[in-house]
Structure 1
Amino acid sequence: MSTSTLVAGVLWLVALWRLPSLRHSRKQRSLALTLVTLAAAMTFEVPQVKGAVDATVGADARLSPLLKHLLGVASAACLLDFVIAVVRPQGLARRTRLVAVGVTLPLMLAFYAAANWKPGGPVRLGEGRGALFPVLYMTAFTLYIGIAMVVATWLFLGGVRHSRTLLGKAGLGFLGLGTLLGSLYTLQRIAFVTVQLASGTRYPEAENLLSTVLKQATVLSVAIGVCLPPLSVAVDYVAAWSNLRKLRPLWIELTAAAPYVVLTTSVSRTRIPFRLERCVIEIEDACLALREYVPVNTYTEAQEFVRRKRVDPQRSDAVAEACWLRASVERARNGERLRGVEYPPLGVTGRDRASELLWLRNVARAYVSSAVVSEFVRQEQPSDFNEQGAPERISSNGN
Structure 2
Amino acid sequence: MNTVKHTVLALLWAVTLWRLPAAARVPRQRALWTAFASIAAACTLGDPGVVDSVDRLAGVHNLSTLGKNLLGIVGSAAILDFVVAIARPRSLPRARRALTALATVSMTAMTVLFALTPRPLEVSDFYQANVGSLSGTAYCMVFTGCLGIAMTVATWLFWGYSRHAGAAWLRTGLRLLGAGTALGACYSLLRTVLMLLGFLRPHIIGTTATTVADAVENAAISLIVVGSSLPAVGVLWRSVRDWRALRRIQPLWAELTSAVPDIVLDARSHLTPRVRLHRTVIEIRDAVLVLSSYVPEHIRRQAERTARLSGVQGERRAALAEAIWLRTACAAKLNGADVVRDSERRTTPSAGMALDFDAEVARLLILSEAYHSPAARTHSKEHM
The verdict on a shared fold, with TM-score over 0.5 as the criterion, is: yes
> SS at 2:91's partner residue?
coil
Partner of 1:165: 167
Amino acid at match of 1:164: G
Partner of 2:221: 219
Change (3 A) 1:193 1:370: farther
More helix by share: 2
Q: Contact 1:54/1:63 (CA < 8 Å) preserved in 2?
A: yes
Partner of 1:192: 194
Partner of 2:361: 357
Deviations 1:119-169 (A, max 9, x none): 55415256xxxx411111111111111111111112112222333333222
The CA distance in 2 between the partners of 1:205 and 1:363, in whole Å, is 66
Partner of 1:313: 314
Change (3 A) 1:158 1:298: farther
Residues 1:89 and 2:92 aligned together: no
**1:56 CA displacement:** 2.3
Residues 1:367 and 2:371 aligned together: yes
Residues 1:122 and 2:163 aligned together: no
Change (3 A) 1:355 1:380: same
**1:225 CA displacement:** 2.1
Please list, as runs of the form range in 1=range in 2, the aligned pairs for 1:239-388 lying within 5 A after superposition: 239-263=241-265, 265-268=266-269, 271-336=272-337, 337-341=339-343, 342-346=345-349, 349-369=353-373, 371=375, 373-374=376-377, 376-377=379-380
Q: Where does structure 1 lack aligned partners over 5 or more consecutive residues?
A: 382-399
Tell which deviates more after alignment, 133-142 or 305-314: 305-314
Q: Contact 2:51/2:62 (CA < 8 Å) preserved in 1?
A: no
Residues 1:13 and 2:14 aligned together: yes
Change (3 A) 1:87 1:297: farther
Deviations 1:76-105 (A, max 9, x none): 000000111122222255133232222211
The CA distance in 2 between the partners of 1:98 and 1:157, in whole Å, is 24
Partner of 2:75: 75
CA RMSD of aligned residues (A): 2.5
Tell which deviates more after alignment, 300-309 or 214-223: 300-309
Q: Contact 1:50/1:64 (CA < 8 Å) preserved in 2?
A: yes
Change (3 A) 1:161 1:301: farther
> SS at 1:91's partner residue?
helix
Change (3 A) 1:153 1:271: closer
Q: Contact 2:39/2:71 (CA < 8 Å) preserved in 1?
A: yes
* TM-score after normalising by structure 2: 0.88
Q: 2:103 aligns with which of 74, 77, 101?
A: 101
**1:209 CA displacement:** 0.9
The CA distance in 1 between the partners of 2:131 and 2:216, in whole Å, is 25
Tell which deviates more after alignment, 90-99 or 241-250: 90-99
Change (3 A) 1:269 1:134: closer
Partner of 2:51: 50
The CA distance in 1 between the partners of 2:8 and 2:49, in whole Å, is 14
Change (3 A) 1:279 1:215: same
> SS at 1:338's partner residue?
coil
Deviations 1:345-388 (A, max 9, x none): 257625221111111111111111152x345545658xxxxxxx
Deviations 1:271-321 (A, max 9, x none): 533432332222111111100011345445544543444322242322222
**1:206 CA displacement:** 1.2
**1:247 CA displacement:** 0.8
**1:74 CA displacement:** 0.4
Change (3 A) 1:290 1:86: same
**1:218 CA displacement:** 1.6
